[in-house]
Amino acid sequence: MRSAAAREAILAATARQFQLRGYDNLTIEGIAKEAGVGKQTIYRWWPSRGALIAECLTDGRLFPVDFDIPVSGPVLDDVETWLDRVLAVLHSPGGSGLLRSLVAAAAEDDAVGQHLSEGIGVEQSLHTRLTLAVRAGELPADAPVDQLGSAILGAIIVQALGREEADAEGLRELVRFLLRPDGQAGSSA
């Protein structure tokens, strides 16, 4: 198998076309042409368009940045740092379209769906950071860590799907509310 060069060219072309044209306008023939590769070479190694995207996703080729989360201060600060990094991508030109395309791919393809959270850094980074916070007593011991990760990512996705301008302040507010220490929220009716 000599695939090394072909594999690289195919994945690079896939990522570029995905960013450029979105998921539903992504064609195997377009990828093959850009990669300078025969269609059969793609079909030989990947069973579907989705598998191709899933591999780009786990290789971190779809987003221009990595979504590592720092462990350098209060959870809230660290999570806001991560959030700002995500929002920066969303606000860049084509950024929300990119996320929508990724969601479309995740909805239509099992392989992509199973790695969606992971690709945005929720699985490893956010989850890990929140677990640390629980252990450090920054969050209640019964905080449902993975559900909180899904909720934050989900809120971002719902917002992107709604075609609103990404409401950065709203999301920061949400995170602050979710991660608030007990008994600190503004009271009264």
Least Cβ distance, residue 165 to its own copies (angstroms):
13
Minimum Å distance from CB 45 to its own copies? 23
**With left for phi above 0 and alpha for psi between -120 and 50, is residue 38 left, alpha or beta?**
beta
Binding partner of 28, given its own copies, DNA, none, CB within 5-8 angstroms per partner class:
DNA
Provide the minimum distance between the beta carbon of 1 and DNA in the complex, in angstroms, as a whole number: 4
Give the CB-side neighbour count of residue 65, counting CA atoms within 13 A. 16
Local structure of residue 26 (DSSP, 8 states): -
The answer to whether residue 61 forms part of the interface with DNA (CB under 7 A) is no
| Among 12, 16, 22, 41, interactor with DNA by CB under 7 A | 41
Q: How many CA atoms lie within 13 A of 3 on its CB side?
A: 11
Residues 129-188 that bind DNA (CB under 7 A): none
**Interaction partner, residue 133 (its own copies, DNA, none; CB < 5-8 Å by kind):** none
Which CB sits closer to its own copies, 9 or 89?
A: 89
* Phi, psi of 134, rounded to the nearest 5 degrees: -65, -45
> In this complex, which beta carbon is closest to its own copies, that of residue 8 or of residue 173?
173
Smallest distance from its own copies to CB 68, Å: 20
- Structure token digits, residue 137: 């007593």
Measured distance CA(125)–CA(121) in Å, rounded: 5
Q: 8, 11, 13, 29: which one contacts DNA (CB under 7 A)?
A: 29
Q: Least Å distance between CB 73 and its own copies?
A: 18
110 makes contact, choosing from DNA, its own copies, none, with CB < 5 to 8 Å by partner type, with its own copies
- What is the crossing angle of helices 168-178 and 75-91, to 10°? 160
The set of residues, in sequence order, having a beta carbon less than 8 Å from that of 167 and lying 6+ positions away, is 159
